[in-house]
Structure formats: C-alpha cells, structure tokens
Amino acid sequence: MRPRPGGIPSGEDYFPRSEEAELWRRIEENSAILIAPRRSGKSTMLNHMKEKPASNWQVYNIFCEDIDKEEQIRMKLASVLVNSSKKSGNVLIILDEFQTMIVRMAKGKNSTRKMRELVRALPKLKSLSAPEKKIRFVYAGSKSFDLVARKYNLDDSFKDLPRIILAPLSRADALRYLTKVLGDAGVTNKNEIPQWIYREVGCGFLYFLAILADKAIGAHVDGTELTDDVLEELYEKCITGAVGRAYFQHNHEVLKIYKELGGEKYFEAAEAILGYTATHSKISQSTANELFKLHYPHAKDWLFQQLMLDLESDFYLRLKAKGNYEFQVHILGDWWGRYYPSMSAKVLDVLLIWRPSGILISHLPCPGGGLKGADQSAAQLTATYQGLRSIEFEAPAIQDPMGRGTFVFLEKMKYLLVCRINGKPTRRLDSKMRDALKGISKRYPKMDWDGDRAVFDGIEAFLKELCGEH
C-alpha cells in the first residue's frame, strides 16, 4: 500500500471504509445522499464502489463539478441508460459534486427552471431494457449541499433520502493505515513516526495523512535518517512555498463557490472567520457570529448556521466543548495562518496628521471606535513616531500601553496616517492605507488649503474606506 496525496488510490492502495457497507445497505431501499468533507476520501470510496460493486449491481460514476449545461448531464445519463441496458443487475448512478453542478447549471436565463425540472425528474428514470431494474442515485457532495438545495427550492427532492456522513478515520484506523503504508515502504524502525504524523495532522483525514507519510517515505528512500529535526524540516517544507501551494491552495479556491452561492458578503464572512481562526488558533461562536454580521449585516440567522456547517465540511473547523471552533486539520490551519492570516483586525479610528507639527487634520471614528482626546493623541503619536525614527527603528505598529488597541503608522511626504485597530496589522490593511495616503498626498501635496471644507470632504472620502477595513 502506498500513500497517494492528490491521487485516487485504488486496488491494493485502497483503505477500506465502514461507510461503504452502510451506503450499499441504504441503496437497496432508496437513493441516498453522501455528505463528506473535502479531501476525506469520498471520491476514492466511490471509485472503489464502481471497481468492486455489490452483488447484482452495476455502477456508473458521473463527475459533475464541471457540468454547467442541462444538455451535458442529459447526454451522460442517456449514455448510462444505454450501457446499463446491455448488462444484468440494478443500476447505481453516482453524481459526484452534485451541488456544484446545480450552481453552475442555474446561471443564465431560464436556467434555474430547467435545472429544477431536471433534478426532480431524476427519480423517475427507468431502465430501457428491464423496467423492473432498480435505478438508484448517490448524490455526493459537501455540507454546502443543504445551502444549494435551499437556495434553489429543491428541499422537497431530498428531504426523505437517507444521509451518510463520511467521517475521518478514527485514531486507531489512522495509525493502522500509517503503519501499513510506512511499513510497506520499509520505514519500520520507529513506531513514533505514525504517532508524529497523526499528531501533526490532528485527525484521520487520509489526504493529509498521506502528505506527511509520502514525505517521510521519500526521505527514507533517499537514505535520510528520520530524526525529530528531519521530521520538523519535512513538515515545514509541506506548508511553505510551491510544495505547500500544491497541497493546500485548492482549499482556498473552494471559497469561490461560496461567492457563487451566497455572494460577496458570504464569501468575505467565510474568509474573515477562517483567517481569525488560523491566526488565533480558535474562534468562539460569538466572535464568529460578530464577524459574520460585520461582513453580512441583516442576514438571516440560519445563514450564519449554514456558513459554519459549510466551514466544518470544507475547511475542517470543529466545535469544541467550550464553544470554540478550531481547525481540525492542524497542518491546514498552520498553512492558512501563514498565507491567509486574520483579516479581522477591525479599524477603530483613523487619524491623519501633519507630521512636522503634530496637528490633527482629520479624525474618523469607525463603528465601535471613538478615540477620546484625538488632538492630544495626534501630538503624542507624532512624537512617538519621530522618536522611533530617530533611532532608525522601523515601527509600522505599536501597542498602546493604555490597552486601547494597536496603532499602525504610515508616512508619505509630510502626512502621517495612523489607524487604531483591535487586532494584528494585515497585508490588506497596509495596502489600503497606502492607497489612501497616496491619493491624499497626490491631490493635496501641501497643507495650504486653510480649512477648506471641500478639501476636508475630499480627504474624508479617502479615509472612509479604511473604516470598513476588517
């Protein structure tokens, strides 16, 4: 048995799943829904069902993620009916990534109506050669399946179907898998390596276990002794650079479906919650809800619950006993925190200062902000900034000793832009500060407008976007 991260293990490389037997049992009675987190081994298990079907069954697997037209799926279904009529046995049609197909098909004029008619017609399919043959479907996808069904009024088509949840391997099964793949490759000298891999991954998702197992085997084949230092180096290589991008960037691309389904606000809320969780190692339910409302005001309560279900399924967040969500897959959380850190550092105040004198030009308090004594603070911040510069100390941000947040500085020409935030500075905040200050200094290169109201309004227009930076 060999680990195959990114591939679909088959034959001797397939690791048996208990959910497969349960799915076959359910299919005898009705079609079924298979809900599985991404990278959980869903496609591998479905491929195995096709390779080795149960007695008196023939299996056809249709990968739906790239289908966006009704004609495409109709042609594929017609092909299945023709081919299955030439063979004996009942017919199982697996529609993998079914919910993604629905979203893509629903785009365009009259497309939603046609898609809905097609989905509702699926249970009525009959065999061309023998009407008594059973035709069953497995609708396979992630927990966003429910959001899609609700969005397109398809709840009635799926409400009575049994659901199978493909869970990660138990710790015992994960260690058994790791011991097997490592042992088959000759890595038998240390029992601690399977334990180390499981600990670093954090749970029993085969894809992530296979990543570290594959790296350990590669080092062993190259003649490297798998010491603790070597293992840590392998881990770092897995989450950095091109290697890390190849393994994990797909997870960030998944967010695009959130934008398609729920719109820009839904997408931004998901990104903010994930970034905060990765940066702080956890996020409370209340904080997640606050972030959601911040990015998606006036949304219905059920939509927040649906988002958290989606994040559990697609990004392996897990609700712990104390009411905090954490990345169940530690290695993904480490990668996410490195490349997509928290964008939730809320801006509380924006101050624009004329640096030579420390005079406050403009102060915009953001929702939840409102710095008292802004004029005095402007003078103090200018003195602090100049003092740090005098000793050639780069100070893009400093913690307020009075506990009022973090002050982020940016200077251009003789303007000093300061944002007070309630978290850590981010690349997004830095970029928006630079854009704002660039616009102000270009339009008003000198402070010679003597309190012109139109100038103040123009400056505030540049600064207001920072108030919405989170």
Please, what sign has the CA dihedral across residues 10, 16, 18, 24? positive
Q: What is the pLDDT of residues 276-319, one digit of tens each?
A: 888 778 888 888 888 888 888 888 888 898 889 888 888 899 98
Averaged pLDDT of the chain: 84
Residue 62 reports pLDDT greater than 60: yes
- Number of other residues whose CB lies within 10 A of the CB of residue 10: 14
Note the pLDDT of residue 469: 46
Note the pLDDT of residue 27: 92
Mean pLDDT of 315-331: 89
Note the pLDDT of residue 470: 40
Select the more confidently predicted residue: 332 or 103.
Answer: 332
CA distances, 443 to each of 70, 141, 354, 461, 462 (Å): 53, 52, 15, 12, 11
Nearest-angstrom CA–CA distance, 405 and 397: 10
The maximal CA–CA distance of the chain, rounded, in angstroms, is 90
**pTM (global) more than 0.85:** no
**Environment class of residue 319 by beta-carbon count within 10 Å: exposed (0-12), middle (13-18) or buried (19+)?**
middle
Note the pLDDT of residue 137: 93
Q: What is the CA radius of gyration of the chain?
A: 28
Q: What is the pLDDT of residues 244-269, one digit of tens each?
A: 788 888 888 888 878 877 788 888 88
CB-side exposure of 8: number of CA atoms within 13 Å?
10
- Number of other residues whose CB lies within 10 A of the CB of residue 221: 11
β-pairing, 283-284 vs 324-327, is antiparallel
Mean pLDDT of 199-220: 90
Note the pLDDT of residue 159: 84
Select the more confidently predicted residue: 72 or 321.
Answer: 72
Tell me, what amino acid is at 259?
Answer: K
Q: What is the pLDDT of residues 92-134, one digit of tens each?
A: 999 998 888 888 888 766 688 888 888 888 888 876 667 778 8
Select the more confidently predicted residue: 330 or 39.
Answer: 330
Select the more confidently predicted residue: 338 or 97.
Answer: 97
The answer to whether 341 and 465 have CB atoms below 8 angstroms apart is: no
**Environment class of residue 381 by beta-carbon count within 10 Å: exposed (0-12), middle (13-18) or buried (19+)?**
buried
The secondary structure of the chain, three-state, reads: CCCCCCCCCCHHHCCCCHHHHHHHHHHCCCCEEEECCCCCCHHHHHHHHHHCCCCCEEEEEEECCCCCCHHHHHHHHHHHHHHHHCCCCEEEEEEECHHHHHHHHCCCCCHHHHHHHHHHHHHHCCCCCCCCCCEEEEEEECCHHHHHHHHCCCHHHHCCCCEEECCCCCHHHHHHHHHHHHHHCCCCCCCHHHHHHHHHHCCCCHHHHHHHHHHHHHHHHCCCCCCHHHHHHHHHHHHCHHHHHHHHHHHHHCHHHHHHHHCHHHHHHHHHHHHHHHHHCCEEHHHHHHHHHHHCCCCCHHHHHHHHHHHHHHHCEEECCCCEEEECCHHHHHHHHHHCCCCCCCEEEEEEEECCCCEEEEEEECCCCCCCCHHHHHHHHHHHHHHHHHCCCCCCEEECCCCCCEEEEEEECCEEEEEEECCCCCHHHHHHHHHHHHHHHHHCCCCCCCCCHHHHHHHHHHHHHHHCCC
CA distances, 210 to each of 123, 235, 329 (Å): 37, 13, 13
Tell me, what amino acid is at 267?
Answer: F
Angle CA(49)–CA(54)–CA(55) in degrees, nearest 5?
A: 150
The answer to whether 69 and 105 have CB atoms below 8 angstroms apart is: yes
**Environment class of residue 365 by beta-carbon count within 10 Å: exposed (0-12), middle (13-18) or buried (19+)?**
middle
- Number of other residues whose CB lies within 10 A of the CB of residue 170: 12
Measure the CA dihedral 61/7/335/314, to 10°: 10
Mean pLDDT of 439-467: 83
Mean pLDDT of 370-396: 79
11-15, 311-315, 386-390: the lowest-pLDDT one: 386-390
Note the pLDDT of residue 407: 86
The answer to whether 224 and 208 have CB atoms below 8 angstroms apart is: no
β-pairing, 32-35 vs 163-165, is parallel
β-pairing, 90-96 vs 57-63, is parallel
